[in-house]
Amino acid sequence: MNHLLLTHNSLGVGAISNLVGANSCGALSMFIGTTRDNFEHKRVASLEYEAYEPMALKQLGNICDEIRKRWPDCLNIAIYHRLGLVPVGEASVVIGISSPHRQVSLESVAFAIDELKKTVPIWKKEVYDNHESAWKANKECQWISKTSNDCCS
């Protein structure tokens, strides 16, 4: 089953783990992306995320479809992304995938975060401790303009 969510609420890592876990699976792999307190010698106070939600959810579903094609043994997939302000130390994205064996879940989680960064229309702004801010582009993003910094999480 696929569990996809964009939310302005805190992400409960334990709840997501419980959601994707299954007695028939011997592996549950997770990626938890958190807000760090620094970037390129600047002190980060928080991150702020925006999304084009209908397209973002559709693309997250496409990522799940591709995971199931590449790794048919995956049982449950959760991809949760936080929107709005995310303070330092809190999770902005949590991906959890269960499968019978560890290699499948590890590979599929790595694929999921890489594809999210490349293809999902979620934008990230870094807010610094001096109250300045900057929208940040992912180097992985496939649809970034060469003259623009606009892109996804």
**Residue numbers belonging to the annotated binding site for substrate:** 101-102, 117, 124-126
The single-letter code of the amino acid at 57 is L
Annotated binding-site members: 101-102, 117, 124-126
